Amino acid sequence: MSHSSNVKSNPSFKKQLIFEKLGFSIFTILTIATVTPIVAVVIYIIYLGLPAISWDFLTSMPQDGMRGGGIWPAIVGTFYLTIGTAIFSVPLGIAAAIYLSEYAQDNKVTQYIRLAIINLAGIPSVVYGLFGLGLFVIFLKFGTSILSASLTLSIMTLPVIISTTEEALRAVPQSFRVVSVSLGATKWQTIRRIILPQAIPGILTGVVLGLERAAGETAPILFTGASFFLPRLPGSPLDATMALPYHLYVISTQVPGMPVQIQYGTVMVLIFFVLIMNLIATVIRSRARARRQW
């Protein structure tokens, strides 16, 4: 940034430059003060949680009213719930995004769809829980089960998947569509062979971020599928299940005399899960960006 010398020597500009330096310094300090606690918390959890992790802790059942043993059923439960959520929300979310990006016209219906997506994204997680209880558990008689909880989580995840997928589809240049159709491909052939492959990294990023959120949620599964303690692993989608976030809630508020070590171990596993998902999303995104030819 080079200013001409007569501006530089202007005393009021000099004063402004001092203001600028001061302002920048204050903002640097305050931003670091905002971000430091995040780093500190993660390091603190890893520091206390890592020693608690052992093969036994990960793969054995809880014992002694959660005060001993491991968290295997909670890990398995979260895995089932995440898969269940993916089965429902990924195809539906991608199809809805294809509609918005490739088919929808700029009319009232599309506006209502967008309004609905904004709304879905804003509904509190506990309200999803109420809805899941009313529709899946009671009305459709799925009971408190993996199925009910997965369906509830799917609807909650849908707006994330739809908006990121739509963004990825829209980023594919219009010329790709024009060329494909002019070569005689149908609309669906164009979408299937040309647009989707180009948009896959963006879609995957959205899916991973959506599922990460679903895996960490507690409130929607409280009354739709989570169980305090189960002596054995769930055998079918109609069984209730333990889940990592709910387990953490239980052992940090409902069980008196809980060993801190097990609590930190559980947080560690949950955070590890989130970090891995975040990392996957970041890697997919940056690799796709580096490889993109348009």
Partner 1 sequence: MQQKKKNPSEFIITKTIQVSGLSSILFVLLILYFLLSEGIPAIFEVPFKDLFSQRWYPIEEYFGILPLILGSLVVTLGASIIAVPFGILTAVYIAEIAPKWLAEILKPLVELLAGLPSVVLGFLGILIVSPFLRDGLNLPTGLTAFTGSLLLGGIALPTIVSISEDALKNVPISYRHGSLALGLTRWQTIWSVTFPAARSGILTAIMLGLGRTIGETMTVMMVTGNAPVMPESVKALFLPIRTMTATIASEMGEVASGSVHYHVLFLIGMVLFIFTMVVNILASLISARQLKRSERILS
Q: What's the min distance (Å) between Cβ of 175 and partner 1?
A: 20
* Candidate residues 31, 59, 63, 261; the one interacting with partner 1 per rule CB under 8 A: 31
Q: What are the residues whose beta carbons fall under 8 Å from the beta carbon of 8, sequence distance 6 or more? A: 14
C-beta closer to partner 1: residue 131 or 229: 131
d(CA 224, CA 125): 12
C-beta closer to partner 1: residue 55 or 143: 143
How is residue 64 written in tokens?
């002694």
Q: What are the residues whose beta carbons fall under 8 Å from the beta carbon of 262, sequence distance 6 or more? A: 52, 57, 66, 67, 68, 71, 251
- What residue type is assigned to position 250 of the chain? V
d(CA 125, CA 210): 14
Range 232-291, binding partner 1 (CB under 8 A): 245-246, 248-249, 252-253, 260, 263, 267, 270-271, 274-275, 277-278, 282
Contact between 212 and partner 1 per CB under 8 A: yes
Range 68-87, binding partner 1 (CB under 8 A): none
C-beta closer to partner 1: residue 54 or 119: 119
Q: What are the residues whose beta carbons fall under 8 Å from the beta carbon of 109, sequence distance 6 or more? A: none
CA distances from 77 to 27, 89, 100, 206, 245 (A): 44, 18, 34, 23, 10
Range 109-168, binding partner 1 (CB under 8 A): 109, 112-113, 115-131, 133-135, 138-139, 155, 158-159, 162
Of the listed pieces 52-60, 61-69, 208-216, 234-242, which binds partner 1 according to CB under 8 A? 208-216
Query: What number of chain residues touch partner 1 (CB under 8 A)?
Result: 91
Residue positions counted in the chain: 294
What is the sign, positive or negative, of the torsion defined by CA atoms of 95, 98, 99, 103?
negative
C-beta closer to partner 1: residue 154 or 198: 154
**Per-position x/- string for 168-187, each x denoting binding to partner 1 as judged by CB under 8 A, each - no binding:** ----------------xxxx
C-beta closer to partner 1: residue 253 or 293: 253
Q: What's the min distance (Å) between Cβ of 166 and partner 1?
A: 10
d(CA 201, CA 246): 31
Q: What's the min distance (Å) between Cβ of 133 and partner 1?
A: 7
